[in-house]
Amino acid sequence: MSINTIPREELLLKGNASCPGCGATLILRYMLKALGPKTMLVIPACCTSVIAGPYPWTAFKVPTLHIAFAASAAAGSGMSEALEKMGMNDVNVVVWAGDGGTVDIGIQALSGAAERGHNMIYVCYDNEAYMNTGIQRSGSTPYGAWTTTTPKGNRSLKKDVPSIVMSHRVPYVATVNPAFINDLMSKFKKASRIRGFKYIHALSPCPPGWRYDSSLTIKVAREAVLTGMWILYEWENGVFRLTGPSKTLLDRRRRRPVEEYLKLQGRFRHLTREEVKRIQEQVDESWRRIEEMLESQESEDKR
């Protein structure tokens, strides 16, 4: 995909209420370009509820259902089934939820929808904290990160929700990043062509929550991938593959030190050398697990 093939129609309108440099808005904009106007959004309480604007106005040119925090996947399930009954099989039902509404509050409805296999796309835009209510820690906050409820740095590890969804044996799971638009749009297009439950987990840099200048969003997002902190991949019908720049990063020597990503953000400014070293070890261990998975997959293919 080149810039000349990206649809010119804007389904996310100008003048919306997002913060300057909002990663979620970038992802949403290009997701809607990939999926097109035959899309319906289900949005629980989150930053995007504010970005949409106050009733009766809206920044979205597609039908949107605002729903309670815990119920987005359940509402998407009902919407998908209703459209099936009406014979409207060409509409993309998209649940668009933050990490709080996915990793914590909404995970039970997410699991149920995945288990039942409803024809929908569930997107978690992951800004790694409850940003809309004051930057509190979520289950997706990475180790060491400052939030208002972890002022000395988060002591827990980030919950791996894509792997949890994979365990439901759904047909498609992927990760995306707003610095790599071709990879992002191609995954949403692919998801729209697959029947059943699809899950896409998107890194969503947040200037106020991550404590960086709003002009640096794409640089921060890019460094997340190049340091191996955020891995681009897709899991399609049981087959795992790396995508985008991540395809070249199995070799540790090709990955940049995690410090290059951490130093751009004020939320990691308090980290000691020992804590940075621990984060590097966590990243290296994630890559080792992926290498083992790919080797096992290759062995299975040869049998």
Dump pLDDT digits (tens) for 129-149: 999 999 999 999 999 999 999
Local confidence band at 4 (pLDDT 50, 70, 90 cut-offs): confident
Average pLDDT, the chain: 96
How many CB atoms neighbour CB 63 within 10 A? 14
Is the distance from CB of 134 to CB of 151 less than 8 angstroms?
Answer: no
Local confidence band at 291 (pLDDT 50, 70, 90 cut-offs): very high
Average pLDDT over residues 23-48: 97
Sheet with 197-203, edge to edge strand ranges: 64-66, 39-43, 92-98, 120-126, 197-203, 172-176, 233-236, 239-242
pLDDT for the residue numbered 176: 98
Q: Is the dihedral of CA 278, 149, 17, 268 positive or negative?
A: negative
Bridge-partner residues for 98, per DSSP? 125
pLDDT for the residue numbered 87: 96
Average pLDDT over residues 151-155: 97
Please give the helix or strand (H or E) that residue 97 lies within, else none.
Answer: strand 92-98
Q: Is the dihedral of CA 43, 45, 46, 47 positive or negative?
A: positive
